[in-house]
Amino acid sequence: MEKENKVLPYLMMLPSILLMSLVVIYPIIMGVITSFQQQESGGYGFENYRYFFENDYHTTGIWYTLKIVVITVVAAIAISYLLAIFLRFSNTPISRLMGKLYILPRFIPALVAVNGMITVIRDSGLINRISQVFGYNLHLNMMYDEKGIILMNLWFNIPFATMMISAALSAINDSEVEAMRDVSASKTMIFTNLILPLTYRDVFVAATFIFMSNISSFTTPYLMGATYPKMMGVTLFDLYNNFHYGRAAALSVIMFLFSSVAASIYIYINMRKDKWEVGR
């Protein structure tokens, strides 16, 4: 009976393991194998990887993608942190209204949101037409430019990051803040000694997810990006569309490796113990 009790949990997990192996592990293994396969000769080698790092067109696209993603992560986290602190520690009609509305962009389909942004920021869009009423001809120059992609990325990611950081801030009791104020602690001291230590892990979680979701983004750069340089998600689509499966698989592995670096940092931050946790 005791032996059966030990085996039963593994038997119950078996369907999930088989399903995960079929739809996740097997495609990853086949993708890695395909990335080394040379389309012309049918042999195996590093030609598909060299194609991206020895070709200025694609090297520029990789750095262009990383630039946009890093700016998106930094800007989204900074804005979200400030917004979350405002929503948590401010009790005004404006903060309560913003607390109800900031999550709404998450419920708007991506294609609808991107199309709406295009109609606003393009050279013949809403902002330009309003400026013409006042005698100006304002061109934002955001379409087919990295600025437009970053702006759209912030639209998608600020509500997500704010929601995660707000959840961490909600665990801070008002009594803890008041106790620090009672000993004449400044706002800076309250932030650095109380708020930041209790929320920085959630910040890294949000940053990791923002990085991984944008490193492979397709919809926004495809509709709003330039023809050169292209983000890696659009390049991947072009490669598949032109039947370059080996190169597409290699680019997928490169994108996976970038995401793995971000994930590794996230795992390290969450596994390390803070000073106040040591000895517990």
Q: Is the pLDDT of residue 194 over 90?
A: no
Helix (H, G, I), strand (E, B) or coil at 11: helix
Structure tokens at 69: 């993603």
Q: On the CB side of 161, how many CA atoms lie within 13 Å of its CA? A: 31
Q: Is 105 within 8 Å of 95 (Cβ atoms)?
A: no
Query: What was the pLDDT predicted at 192?
Result: 87
Res. 11: pLDDT tops 50:
yes
Per-residue pLDDT at 173:
85
pLDDT tier at 113, thresholds 50, 70, 90: very high
Spatial distance between the Cα atoms of 158 and 112, rounded to a whole number of angstroms: 17
* Domains in the chain: ranges and CATH: 48-271 (1.10.3720.10)
pTM of the model: 0.86
How far apart are alpha carbons 164 and 87 in whole angstroms? Answer: 13
- Average of pLDDT values for 167-188? 84
145-160 average pLDDT score: 94
**AA letter at 213:** S
Which pLDDT band holds residue 175 (cuts at 50, 70, 90)?
Answer: confident
pLDDT tier at 227 (50, 70, 90 boundaries)?
Answer: confident
Distance CA 235, CA 122 (A): 24
Q: Phi, psi (5° rounding) for residue 63?
A: -65, -35
Q: How far is CA 95 from CA 85, 98, 100, 121, 185, in A?
A: 10, 5, 9, 27, 24
Asked if residue 80 has pLDDT above 90, the reply is yes
Computed over every residue of the chain, the mean pLDDT equals 87
Share of the chain above pLDDT 90, in %: 41
pLDDT beyond 90 at 14: no
Residue 276 is predicted with a pLDDT of 45
* pLDDT band, very low/low/confident/very high, at 137 (cuts 50, 70, 90): confident
- In which band, very low, low, confident or very high, does the pLDDT at 20 lie, cut at 50, 70 and 90? confident
Q: How far apart are the first and last CA of the chain?
A: 37
Residue with tokens 């803890």: 176
Q: Give me the pLDDT at residue 273, please.
A: 59
**Pick from 170, 154, 156: which is nearest to 84 by CA?**
170
Rounded Cα–Cα distance for residues 242 and 38 (Å): 15
